[in-house]
Amino acid sequence: MKVLGIESSCDETGVALYDTERGLLGHAVHTQVAMHEAYGGVVPELASRDHIRRLIPLLERVLDEARCTRRDIDAIAYTAGPGLAGALLVGASFAESLAMALGVPALPVHHLEGHLLSPLLADDAPAFPFIALLVSGGHTQLMRVTRVGAYQLLGESLDDAAGEAFDKTAKLLGLGYPGGPALAALADSGTPGRYKLPRPMLNSGDLSFSFSGLKTAVLTASRVRELSATDKADLAAEFQEAVTEVLAAKAVAACRQHRLSALVVAGGVGANRRLRQRMDEAMAKIGGRVFYPELDLCTDNGAMIAFCGAQRLLQGDAPASTQGAFVVRPRWPLDQLS
C-alpha cells in the first residue's frame, strides 16, 4: 500500500510517498525560510500562498523519485493540525481534492503524532512502549506511547516551547530567523559557565517545563553592557546548556517513573547536537537508549505524515473517509486524538 503524505502546517511544504512494504519511496521538502527571513518570523499569509505554489511541483518530484504515477497512490494523509489555519487549509484542500479525483481515502493526521512516530521510519526503530520527548517550535511535551494512536501526556511546557525559546533568544542576540540552528552553531563556539543562567523547574518534582525565564535572563545580561562577539557566544553556550540539561533530566525522570528504557526524541530541536549528546549520556546511565529520526526528518516533512497515515490504516483505526468534507484544527492537543 502506498500512502502519500502532505505537510503544510507552518513554513515547510513537505510531500512524500511511503510504501508499507518497501518503506519511503520518495520525499521532498521546500522550506520558506528565505522568504520569511526579511520579516524576522513566519508571515502566515505568505506561508499559505507559498504552499499553494509548491505542492504540485513537489508532488511531481516525489512521484518521479519513487518511479510512480498518481494512479499508484492508495491513500493520502495530510496534516490537519495543529498549525497555522491558512497553511493547514492549503494542504488539506489539496489532499482532499486529489483523493477525491483519484477515488482514494484522505486521512487527516496530527502533526505531532507524525513527529512522534518519525523515529520508527529509521532502520533501527524502538519497540512499544516508549517515552517520547517532542521538542519543536510550538511544543515541548513528554508523552508515554503505548502503541500507534495511544499517547498519554506526562508533562509539557507551561510557557515557551524549547524551540521558541531558542528562536527568541537568537533574536535577542541578533541572529535573525530561524534562530534555533544559528544559536546552536554560536553556542558550539562559546564557553558555558561564564554567564550563569537558571535551570528552570529542574527540581520541580514534576515533568513540566518553563523556558520563558531563560530568554528574560539573556535579555537582562545583554542590558548590563554591550555584548562582544565572545560574550554572545558564551551566553548562547550557557543557554544551550540550561535548556538541554532540563530536557535531559526530565526525559530521564519520565523513563524512570514509567520503568521504560526507550526514549524517542522528535521535533526540530531534536536536531540539536548538544541535546543528543546529553540525552545519550543521561539515558546510558540508566541503561536506556535514545532513538532519533533521521536528521532530515527532524524538522517538518511529509514522510512522517505519510508514515503516520499508513500506520493508522494498517492498524485499522484510520478516521472514516472524509468524502471531501474536512476541517483543520489549528489547536489540537495530541492526547485528544479521536
C-alpha cell recorded at residue 286: 540508566
Ramachandran angles phi, psi of 40, nearest 5°: 75, 10
**Cβ 321 vs Cβ 96: under 8 Å:** no
- Residue 214 as a binder of ligand KG4 (CB under 6 A): the answer is no
- Which of the residues 141 through 180 are near ligand KG4 (CB under 6 A)? 163, 166-167, 178-180
Q: Which stretch binds ligand KG4 (CB under 6 A): 46-54, 131-139, 211-219, 313-321?
A: 131-139
Number of residues that bind ligand KG4 (CB under 6 A): 19
Q: Which stretch binds Zn ion (CB under 5 A): 58-66, 128-136, 193-201, 219-227?
A: 128-136
- Residue 136 as a binder of Zn ion (CB under 5 A): the answer is yes
Q: Which stretch binds Zn ion (CB under 5 A): 122-130, 132-140, 187-195, 218-226?
A: 132-140
- Residue 253 as a binder of ligand KG4 (CB under 6 A): the answer is no
Q: Which does 271 bind (CB under 5 to 8 A by kind): ligand KG4, Zn ion, none?
A: ligand KG4
Nearer to ligand KG4, 10 or 308 (CB): 10
Considering the complex, what minimum distance in angstroms separates the CB of residue 325 from ligand KG4?
A: 26
Residue from 14, 26, 81, 181 in contact with ligand KG4 (CB under 6 A): 181
Q: Is 201 helix (H, G, I), strand (E, B) or coil?
A: coil
Residue from 12, 164, 241, 300 in contact with Zn ion (CB under 5 A): 300
- Which of the residues 63 through 122 are near Zn ion (CB under 5 A)? none
Considering the complex, what minimum distance in angstroms separates the CB of residue 214 from ligand KG4?
A: 13
Q: Which does 272 bind (CB under 5 to 8 A by kind): ligand KG4, Zn ion, none?
A: ligand KG4
Residue from 114, 137, 155, 302 in contact with ligand KG4 (CB under 6 A): 137
- Which of the residues 281 through 300 are near ligand KG4 (CB under 6 A)? 299-300
Q: Which does 293 bind (CB under 5 to 8 A by kind): ligand KG4, Zn ion, none?
A: none
The residues that touch Zn ion, with contacts defined as CB under 5 A, are: 136, 300
The residues that touch ligand KG4, with contacts defined as CB under 6 A, are: 10, 136-138, 163, 166-167, 178-181, 184, 267-269, 271-272, 299-300
